[in-house]
Structure 1
């Protein structure tokens, strides 16, 4: 199958191509500055994130890395989480068991996945990505709305995520899963 190059994207646009596509087909797309993710065979192409988004990702990754135990590792996007031949996406932050990760990808559920919403990706973060992470057995998923910023903590309950905590901008919260780390969402901003 030959993938057709999408037209130029405007900031905030997401292009969705129904498939099913495979990881190999996604990997054959030439680098173009856009994130190419495969969600159960559906190709999602999104523009580069905005500055505020990246500031939050960087600050949270630094906080997590400062508290991570030696058997775990913090990895920031772009880095593939490959869950089969039709699913490969790049959460903004992954916390993984060192023994599970290779140089090229993580092929099992992380212990924590984090997505900072962008206007163009929020629907995917709270829909298919959350569902795929739950189905894979990821025990914890955090989403951050950069407007607040507000952190939402999702915990695996059976085979779905349940919202277990919402942390407001000025609120300080200490996670216990996957390890102890204290977060104040407002402190993640570099404004």
Structure 2
């Protein structure tokens, strides 16, 4: 049975409130106490996630781990995000979540999440000092890889279609957006 509790209008929600929701058909996140609800991802979205996992896992250092959503990333009591792909230090993962700042957070843009993934989440992750944030648009297809520079993200690499984004940090990696979306 799906249980979505009633919350009073205007209440700032917490991590504890989020844990009372048992609906597994949608993704529930908190951004500064505001509840964000996303539908389950589509096959194209999941294809990109799977290909990205396959590319990142071999280059991930032993003290880190690469995981797909849903993994809660708890930045504070009022902010719990679920990046599509997250790389975190092994010592920041608990049995329930990654508690603290990830090394890399990746979002695969869906039509319903474009504003959240390109504005709200990167702003909050930059504030938390997440060193790397990537955004992949499977419909373009395109990838934009950002690195934290001071308090803001700067573009490290970008590619569209069959172009290749050549990355040195956080890992040495070449990514082609066309390869991430191809069904072969």
TM over 0.5: yes
1:4 to partner: Cα distance = 2.5
Candidates 151, 157, 164, aligned match of 1:172: 164
Candidates 53, 58, 67, aligned match of 1:61: 53
Q: Distance in 2 between matches of 1:130 and 1:58?
A: 22
Candidates 31, 34, 38, aligned match of 2:23: 31
Moved more, 166-175 or 89-98: 166-175
2:123 aligned residue: 131
Confirm whether residue 106 of structure 1 aligns to residue 98 of structure 2.
yes
1:141 to partner: Cα distance = 0.4
TM-score when normalising by structure 2: 0.91
Report the count of equivalent residues: 179
1:168 to partner: Cα distance = 1.4
Shift of the 19–120 alpha-carbon distance from structure 1 to 2, 3 Å rule, reads farther
Q: Distance in 2 between matches of 1:172 and 1:84?
A: 36
Q: Distance in 2 between matches of 1:105 and 1:178?
A: 22
2:88 aligned residue: 96
1:76 to partner: Cα distance = 0.7
Moved more, 126-135 or 168-177: 168-177
Alignment of 1:1-191 (within 5 A): 3-4=5-6, 19-191=11-183
The answer (yes or no) to whether the contact 1:19–1:43 under 8 Å persists in 2 is: no
> Residue 147 of structure 1 aligns to a residue in which SS?
coil
User: What is the RMSD of the two structures over their aligned residues, measured on CA atoms?
Assistant: 1.7
TM-score when normalising by structure 1: 0.88
Q: Distance in 2 between matches of 1:32 and 1:52?
A: 20
Q: Distance in 1 between matches of 2:11 and 2:41?
A: 25
> Residue 83 of structure 1 aligns to a residue in which SS?
strand
Q: Distance in 1 between matches of 2:11 and 2:141?
A: 35
> Residue 144 of structure 2 aligns to a residue in which SS?
strand
Give runs of ≥4 in structure 1 deviating > 3 Å.
none
Structure 2, unmatched stretches of 5+, are none
